[in-house]
Structure 1
Amino acid sequence: MSSRRAYRSDLTDARWALIEPTLTAWRAVRRGPETAARVHHLREIVNAILYVCRTGIGWEYLPHDFLPYETVYDYYAK
């Protein structure tokens, strides 16, 4: 997990515990043998998506302490 300061839109530990198994399984199914190992934590990706949805900002305006907006948007689009 990252050491960034939490945003109000971040998932609580309890909410993450509810959705983490489903997202981990989804990622495992989408991951083929030719896919490189995942570098980013799913929770940080979800937190970034929630930040964009909650604030209404454009993807390219995602604060710098989140992951690259292209990565976050790619997961959102999938």
Structure 2
Amino acid sequence: MSERTPYPSDLSDARWALIEPTLTAWRKARLDRRPTGQPAKVDLRDVFNALLYVNRTGIPWKYLPHDFPNHGTVYAMPTTRPGVTKESSPSSITT
């Protein structure tokens, strides 16, 4: 995780340990299906914490604080798209 002051909505290390294997497997499967030739540029934990921040605060995506990844990168995560089950969405996670 990058060095920044944590927000109250950020995942604890214990909760991240539960989610990280799934997100890492998703990223690997996505790259295996469609290689981009570029290494990942953003930390998945930072992206997930940004999703939780938007969910908790209700801010528009464009107003995401600058210490999170770009709002376009965060919005592009599959958990923000229609059809994602409630169980896998950030709103179902208690920080």
Question: If the length of structure 1 is used for normalisation, what is the TM-score?
Answer: 0.91
Amino-acid identity (%): 58
| Matched residue SS, 1:26 | helix
Q: Which amino acid aligns with 2:55?
A: C
**Structure 1 position 2, deviation (Å):** 1.1
Match status 1:38 vs 2:40: yes
Q: Which residue of 2 aligns with 1:26?
A: 26
1:39-78 matches, within 5 Å, as: 39-75=41-77, 76-77=80-81
**TM-score, L = length of structure 2:** 0.76
SS in 2 for 1:70: helix
What do the CA deviations read for 1:18-53 (whole angstroms, capped 9, x no partner)? 010011001100113334210111000000000000
**Unmatched runs of 5 consecutive residues or more in structure 2:** 85-95
Q: Give yes or no for the alignment of 1:11 onto 2:11.
A: yes
Q: What whole-Å deviation, never above 9, does each CA across 1:38-74 have from its counterpart, x for those lacking one? A: 0111000000000000100000000111111111111
Sort the Cα spacing of 1:54 and 1:21 in 2 relative to 1 into closer, same or farther, 3 A: same
CA distance in 1, matches of 2:72, 2:35: 23
Q: Aligned pairs, how many?
A: 78
Question: What residue ranges of structure 1 are gaps of 5+ in the alignment?
Answer: none
